[in-house]
Structures are given as structure tokens and as C-alpha cells.
Amino acid sequence: MNEYSVHKIIETIKPYITEIKGEINIKTTVRYIKPFEQVDEYSLDWINSNKKEKQLMAHNSKAKVIICDNEVEYNDTLKNDGKVLLCVENPKLAVALLGTHLFSEKYPEFFHPSAVIDNAAEIGKNVFIGANCTIGKCIIGNNVTIHPNVVIYNNVTIGDNVLIHAGAVLGTDGLGCERLVDGTLVKFPHLGGVKIGNNVEIGANSYIAKGALSVTSVGDGTKINGLCFIAHNVIIGKNVLITGQVMIAGSVEIGDNVLLSPGVVIREQVKIGKAAHIGLGAVVTKNVPDNEVWTGIPAKKFEK
Amino acid sequence: MNEYSVHKIIETIKPYITEIKGEINIKTTVRYIKPFEQVDEYSLDWINSNKKEKQLMAHNSKAKVIICDNEVEYNDTLKNDGKVLLCVENPKLAVALLGTHLFSEKYPEFFHPSAVIDNAAEIGKNVFIGANCTIGKCIIGNNVTIHPNVVIYNNVTIGDNVLIHAGAVLGTDGLGCERLVDGTLVKFPHLGGVKIGNNVEIGANSYIAKGALSVTSVGDGTKINGLCFIAHNVIIGKNVLITGQVMIAGSVEIGDNVLLSPGVVIREQVKIGKAAHIGLGAVVTKNVPDNEVWTGIPAKKFEK
Amino acid sequence: MNEYSVHKIIETIKPYITEIKGEINIKTTVRYIKPFEQVDEYSLDWINSNKKEKQLMAHNSKAKVIICDNEVEYNDTLKNDGKVLLCVENPKLAVALLGTHLFSEKYPEFFHPSAVIDNAAEIGKNVFIGANCTIGKCIIGNNVTIHPNVVIYNNVTIGDNVLIHAGAVLGTDGLGCERLVDGTLVKFPHLGGVKIGNNVEIGANSYIAKGALSVTSVGDGTKINGLCFIAHNVIIGKNVLITGQVMIAGSVEIGDNVLLSPGVVIREQVKIGKAAHIGLGAVVTKNVPDNEVWTGIPAKKFEK
């Protein structure tokens, strides 16, 4: 169990703090972020800015350290309870930062004995490989966590601080076919690989194919949720947020900071510009310029 | 192999029987429900009400016990073959009940030695855990069947009589992110859990995320098919039928007795009212009232 | 490592060669097809017909044997480098054929010790079963490759030359339910099986349900990509190309040579005629005649 002083909490989110309300008791410590109903005196609590009863929530919280916005007033009730308010513009972001840096589960350096790891795999430091994984001839960086039942084929390179959830499959064959005159499908060879950057997350039961003759790549900081399909030769930029059950067909290129909403389908070879947002369930059939919001089927620029 | 008397068959579906045609021979027994072409004298056979040649099907069947509706007439041909007709309004329902109560495959109490089970897991009676499963710090009820390669993370509670198919992942991290000004995605901590009620079925390779700070829950009697995505904080009622490849985004609430057709996508925080039906491939972007049928993209109320 | 003479290469694609430009040096051999940037003198190289700088690509290639179309001219530069051009109408098809027949990865006959194989399973020659697979009471043909973490339930028959990728689940229960008056879902029994033809490929984390009382079947030469859902009682013809994340509901019938684009959803009991093409993300709600192209939601015949 970790235990942090209020000073450590403040230090972690310092650039985002606009005001500290109340006095810091050096005896106050924080051990965890808990579900609302389980918050106790050792919890860090937080109040989302969109809540109506923010003042009341601050009064009722059992926590001593509360992240909230400036609208919550410091008064005798809070003072008598020895509470301190760390005010920020976006409390959810502050909690996300604290969760990531102080409270996320750390997995030890460990290869489960049931994992099948190719002798030629190059694996960095502080790597956790869960039960029943299969790891091919790969290069895996440092501080990587691989949950159970993940399968990584040969020729996959994974950066540092990557998190891969259960059942994901990386580096499988893509499926591009040519047809003979009699209809027979002839599969184009898939001889490329997969390159995953640093600080990437890949969700449970997701699928990433190797490139046909090149590399399917996922940029630094990109987060991919579960049941997503990333086809061969796809090139994904940095800090792209790919939500659940997204389908990205072959050779698609996705710029930095893009958001793909749940259930999006993208046609092969389409380019999605930087910081574009694609709406829920959209089917994207042509290139999307930078910074635009596209929705619908087929997807078009969304005008308010 | 089980072997049931006609009386046992009748007892199991008694409330649904409108008439018994023919005499019950106490020597007649039923051992199984079989695919049509394999029906023999020890099979239970049935005739769907929408068939055109119901009388002929009854004559041709090799079975002695036939579930059908009242329109099939009892005559000398059936009598000479020693057949008995158990007439019900909905033969398919009667077969489903018999299948569930008498003929479904029972798995023994057994933990496959290759399954990796956390020492702190609390597991009830008559639980089958298949090969290469990973079971975290969970609570699992009685009469639960878990097929091979299922991964259950920590903090998942599972009721009684639950059936989980191969490759399903329960309790994985959801993925909610905040963005820093430079685009960096910061993941919100996922510290909640998953609660699965009694008599639930979860299909192969489906995904159920834990709640961020609360619990993702699935109500009693709900059936979820394969490749479904149930995001963090989703609350699903009782007896909901979720067909294949359905995508339910974060914090959605689904009432009792709802039907979600294949390929449905539901926007985060939407509420689906009780007994609503959502049509094939619909993309639901706003709340659906009780008992309504919604279809299309974006989904709208369906008017005949 | 394989090493092939130019004659062997020519023999393999002979019916497709329209012209051979340059002399065949009997010392020239080919060892592999490589990603573009890794092409060397032992590689087979190819130039796609849609490229603009085909002549330049031929000059720049480090390979000695180049598959291209007739537009590339043979000149002294190519001659001095000892290159030979094998001209075909569709270079991509020729490479696909060579990849399939000469350069695809062969897996040895091997059952990984961690695979759990039912004693009653009947398994042919040259079958590779990867780590952490579970194989029920099945019949598996010759030259079958099953990647890690595949689960095959009982009553599945698999032909020859089949390739199944990681995490696929075959023969799981479908999910058809009847409702009681109080809303309770009663599952119809699933007692059928799955039949996979010869030369079939099934992608990673895909799902194929057994039939309720019959057989779900996949015809010879059909290729299914990852995260696809094939429901109970579906009948798929020969040489059907099913791309990623396709959803085929119960009892659908699909003719030979059909193409289903990414993200397609097909309503239960619909029939798709031979050689029909279904476009990206289409939701098919009624029967599609032979040879037609259907797109959109709901899908309609596409007229140029």
C-alpha cells in the first residue's frame, strides 16, 4: 500500500492547482482513490465540476483531501473537519493525473510460468507477462504489462510503458486477397510487422494485424479500447483515442490527437487529419481534414 | 445419458400444455433432443408452428413424443406408431424449456489444472473452470460454468447459474481519458468492479469493463451473445437479450426485458427504457422510452 | 530457408506470364519476398500496376527477379544489372500466388504440450496446434494450422489446409431465446455443430457458433478475417471473402464468391446471392440477388 502526503499530491498536479483552500495538516495522508460509497478518511475525494450540489458533497465527504473547482467555498464546517480543498479548473483531469502517477496498479517484473515466450524474444526491464500468453520473436521495451491470454506473433516491436489487456492479438496476418477467374481467393503474403510506440494501451480482445510488406504502427501515447480491429498497414499517430469496437481497414492513416468514437468504421486507405473527431457509429468513406468533426453514414462534416 | 419418462416431460412444461393427444405409453422414454436429420425413437421431436406441412412432419417423425400446436390432428397413423402429441401454443418455447431443464450439458465441478486461480478468489459449489482461464480476486456463485480461456480480472462478483463462454474478458479496465493541452491522454483510474447477477450468460470473446469508481452491473437472467462490448459503469437490467456484436458505451442504463439486435451501438450515458426493442445495426444517440421500438441511424421511434 | 530458381518461380505463375523480359541466369535464385525497404538481391520484387514510376522502381530495385506489367521496358540498365522481368497482367495476383505456394510460413506437425485436446478428437496429418488451445471432440483434417489460444468446442469438423488464427472460438453456443410472460429468457438448446471446408482461413478472435439443431457451415476456400461473428445455422458458400468485424446473424445464407466489406451487419435469415458485393458498414435487411452491389443503411442496390 502506498501512502502519500498532501505535499506529494500537490506536487503531482501543481501546474493545475489554482488555489489551495484550508491548511495543510502534515499528518494528513492519502492512501487511495476509492469508489464514492467507499470513500474514507484515507481516500482522496473529488467533485466533478458538472455536479449541482458541490458544496454539500464537500461537506459530506469523509475524505480529508478533496479535488474540486474554485466554486466550492471554504467554511468553518470544512475547517472543523480538517479538510483541504485542492482547487483546479478540471478536477477529473487532476484525478486522472493522480491515478496515473500515484495510484495505478503496478505489476511486478514477472513472467508467468504458463506463458510461452520465444527464445529469440528481446524483453526489457520490469515487464509483466500474464498467464497463458504466447510471445513470438518480438522486441518488448521496459515497464510493459501484458495481461493473460495475449498472443503476440513474430515481428512485433513494443515500446516502453505499454499496457496490453487480456485476449488481445498483435501481429496476426492481415487478409488481403486476389481472386482467380474461377473465384478462388489467393491471399497476399503478410510479411511485415507491427510497431507499438511508448505509453500505448491496447484493450481486451483487440486485433492488430501485421503489415503486408511494411509495418502497421501505433504512435506514442495512443490508447485503444477493447474489441478494436486495426488492419494491415494502418498508421496511427500520437495520442489518438480509439474507443471500443472501432474498425480501421487496411492502410488507413490517422493523425495525432484524433478521437474515434465507439463503433466507427473507416474505409481502407482513408486519411484522418490531426485532431479530427469522428462521431458514434460513423462510417468514414473519404479523407477527413484536420480538426474537423465528422458524423453519420457515410460520414460528413458536422455543422452545428 | 439421461432418460426421461413422458410424465417427466409433461411435468416440466405442464403450464404450457393445452392438450395431450394420444395415449401415454409408460414404456416410452426420451433421451435427447437431436438435429432434425438425426431424430430417432428416443428423441423428443417438435414441429414449429410456422411450418406448412405440420401433419406430414408428425407422420414422418421417428420420435414417439412430439411437441406441436393444436392444429396437428391425431389419427390412426399416429396412433399405430404409438406417438403422443404434447400440444402447446408455442412449441419452440416448450422445447427451450425442456432443453434448459432436462437436456442442457451439465459440467462437473472441476477446475482445470491449467487454470490460474487467485488464492483469494471465493468460489461456490458445482463450478466448472475450463483450461487456461485466469480468475482474479473474485466471488463466484454456485453452478457456474466458465469455458476455456476466459479471463476474469480482480473485483468481479458472479451470481449463481452463470455460463461464460470461451475467451470472454470480465473486469478489464475501461478507457476514459482526459487530454492535456499538448494532446497527451491521461487515463482516468478504473478502480470499480463488475457484478453479474444470477442465470446470466456471456458469449464468447465478449468484453465487460469494470466501473471507473463504481460497478458495471448485469441483472439476473440477462443473456449476452459473443463479441459484445459492455463499457465501464454500464447498468443492465434483468432479462435483457443482447445479441451479437453489440456496443454499449460508458454509463449507459438498460431497463428490464430490453432487446438489443445485432450490431447495435449505444452512445454513452443513454438510457434505454424497459422492454424497448432496438433494431438491427441501430445507432442510439438519445434516451429510448419504455416499450418502444427504435431503429436506424441515428435511431428513431419505428412507426409501422 | 527455401531457395528457388527463376524457373521454379516461372513455373508457379506460368499461366499468368505474358512476357519474360531479359535472360534467365541459372545462377539467380530467390529466397524470399521482403518488405520494400529490405529488398535485396535474393528477394523477389514486384511493381504494382497502379504505380507512377514503374520504370524507375525497376531500376532502383536490388532484386534480380521482378514481377511487373508489360509497361516496364527492358533496357541496358536492367540488362547490366542482370535483372529479369516476369510480366503479368496483375502483378499483385502473381505475388499472392507465389506467396501462397512458395513463401508462406509452414508450421511443423506439432501439438504444443499446453494445448488441451480431447481424447476423442480425430486429427489428421501435419496439424499444428499452438499453445493454450482447447480442442473438443472434433474432426480435424490434414495440413491444418491452429494458432495459440484457439478454443474449439465439441462437434466441429474442419477440412484440410485450414488456418485458424489466435483467439478464435469455434462451435460455441449460439443464443436464441424465447421469453416467458414474466420476461424470463429461456435459451433454445444448441445441439448442432460446425463444419469448416477445405482451404478456409479464420481470423483472430472471431466467433463461429454451432447450429441450434443443424450445422453452421463455411464452404471451401472461404476466408474470414478477425473479430467476425458467424451466428448459429449460418451457411456460407465457397470462396467468400469476409473482411474484419463482419456480423452475420442466425440462419443467413451466403452464396459463393461473395464479398462482405468491413463492418457489415446482416439480418437473420437473409440470403446473399452469389458474387454479390456488400459495401463498407452496410446493414443488410433483405435478400440480395446474385452479382449485385449493395451499400448503405438499410442496404440498397448501388447504382453508379
**According to the model, what pLDDT value does residue C106 have?**
84
pLDDT tens-digit series, residues C205-262 = 999 999 988 899 999 999 999 999 999 999 999 999 999 999 999 999 999 999 999 9
Q: What does the block give as the cell for A210?
A: 501485421
Q: Contact at 8 Å (CB) between B220 and B202? A: no
- Nearest CA distance, C51 vs chain B (angstrom): 36
Q: What is the overall mean pLDDT for chain A?
A: 95
pLDDT tens-digit series, residues A56-99 = 999 999 999 999 999 999 999 999 999 999 999 999 999 999 99
**Hey, are the CB atoms on C203 and A179 less than 8 Å from each other?**
no
- In chain C, whose CA is at the least distance from the CA of A180? C93
pLDDT tens-digit series, residues B56-78 = 999 999 999 999 999 999 999 99
Please report which confidence band the pLDDT of residue A36 belongs to, taking 50, 70 and 90 as the band edges. Answer: confident
Q: What does the block give as the cell for C289?
A: 440477388
Given a cut of 80, is residue C304 above it in pLDDT? no
Q: What angle do CA A261, A265, A270 make, to 5 degrees?
A: 105
**According to the model, what pLDDT value does residue A106 have?**
84
- Nearest CA distance, B195 vs chain A (angstrom): 14
**According to the model, what pLDDT value does residue A266 have?**
98
Does B111 contact A at CB distance below 8 Å? no
- Report the pLDDT averaged over residues B283-295: 98
State percent of chain C over pLDDT 70. Answer: 100
**According to the model, what pLDDT value does residue A35 have?**
79
- Report the pLDDT averaged over residues C37-57: 92
Q: What angle do CA C8, C12, C18 make, to 5 degrees?
A: 105
CA distances from C16 to A40, B147, C12 (A): 75, 48, 9
Q: What is the overall mean pLDDT for chain B?
A: 95
Please report which confidence band the pLDDT of residue A274 belongs to, taking 50, 70 and 90 as the band edges. Answer: very high
Does C149 contact A at CB distance below 8 Å? yes
The rounded distance, in Å, linking the Cα atoms of C76 and C91 is 23
B244 → closest Cβ in C184, C215, C229: C229
- Report the pLDDT averaged over residues A191-196: 94
pLDDT tens-digit series, residues B112-153 = 999 999 999 999 999 999 999 999 999 999 999 999 999 999
State percent of chain B over pLDDT 70. Answer: 100
- Report the pLDDT averaged over residues A259-284: 98
Please report which confidence band the pLDDT of residue B38 belongs to, taking 50, 70 and 90 as the band edges. Answer: confident
Which chain B residues are within 8 Å of C215, Cβ to Cβ?
A: 35
How many residues would you count in chain A? 304
Does C52 contact B at CB distance below 8 Å? no
Residues 6+ apart with CB under 8 A from B233: B174, B192, B211, B212, B214, B215, B216, B250, B251
Q: What is the overall mean pLDDT for chain C?
A: 95
**Hey, are the CB atoms on A227 and C226 less than 8 Å from each other?**
no
Please report which confidence band the pLDDT of residue A37 belongs to, taking 50, 70 and 90 as the band edges. Answer: confident
Residues B73-78: contacts with CB under 8 Å, at least 24 apart: B73/B21, B74/B21, B74/B22, B78/B21, B78/B22
B99 → closest Cβ in C189, C229, C265: C189
**According to the model, what pLDDT value does residue C2 have?**
82
Q: Give the residue among B211, B108, B202 at the shortest CA–CA distance from B153.
A: B211
CA distances from B180 to A98, A202, A276, C220 (A): 13, 20, 16, 52
Please report which confidence band the pLDDT of residue A148 belongs to, taking 50, 70 and 90 as the band edges. Answer: very high
Given a cut of 80, is residue B304 above it in pLDDT? no
Given a cut of 90, is residue C103 above it in pLDDT? no
Residue B198 DSSP class = T
Which chain A residues are within 8 Å of C98, Cβ to Cβ?
A: 189
Please report which confidence band the pLDDT of residue C26 belongs to, taking 50, 70 and 90 as the band edges. Answer: confident
Which chain B residues are within 8 Å of C180, Cβ to Cβ?
A: 93
C96 → closest Cβ in A188, A267, A297: A188
- Report the pLDDT averaged over residues B3-32: 94
- Nearest CA distance, B213 vs chain A (angstrom): 4
Q: Among A166-170, B37-41, B268-272, where is mean pLDDT lowest? A: B37-41
Whole-prediction pTM value?
0.96
C165 catalytically annotated = no
Given a cut of 90, is residue A304 above it in pLDDT? no
**According to the model, what pLDDT value does residue A63 have?**
96
| Residue of C114, C149, C178, C245 best to disrupt the B interface, most CBs of B under 10 A | C178
Q: Contact at 8 Å (CB) between C284 and C294? A: yes
